[in-house]
Amino acid sequence: MFTPKYPTPDTAPPPTSAPAPAPASDPVASVPATASAAVAPVSNRPTIQLTPGTTLALVGGGTAVVLVVGAVLVSLLLAVAITGMSVAVVAVVLRSMLNQERNH
């Protein structure tokens, strides 16, 4: 149960470099072969483009979230403080009542 489980190593063959084209006597014929090798692979991940309106909406939404979370945290802190004060007042009242009973 506590022994580590290692993933299996990749079984894909190692990448091989493309063979260099043989020099041709016609220099025009070899141009397309070298031009196609220089093309970068195209990423299939979507890109996110932010417009000024989108940026303003994101900033406004973030500000609203921060204000709501702050209000909730402050109200929770206030509830804890009020509860603590009320428990302290009850403790003082009970202590004075018990002291009066002992004195009489």
- The pLDDT-based confidence of 11 (bands split at 50, 70, 90) is confident
pTM over the 0.85 mark: no
Identify the residue with better confidence: 3 or 80.
80
Give the model's pLDDT for residue 38. 59
Distances (CA, A) of 73 to 67, 68, 70: 10, 9, 5
Burial of 30 by CB count in 10 Å (0-12 exposed, 13-18 middle, 19+ buried)? middle
Q: pLDDT tens-digit profile of 24-73? A: 565 555 555 455 555 667 777 777 888 989 999 999 999 999 999 999 99
Query: Is the per-residue pLDDT at 13 higher than 80?
Result: no
DSSP string, 44-85: -SPP----HHHHHHHHHHHHHHHHHHHHHHHHHHHHHHHHHH
φ, ψ (nearest 5 deg) of residue 35:
-70, -35
Instruction: State both tokens at 39.
Output: 């093309």
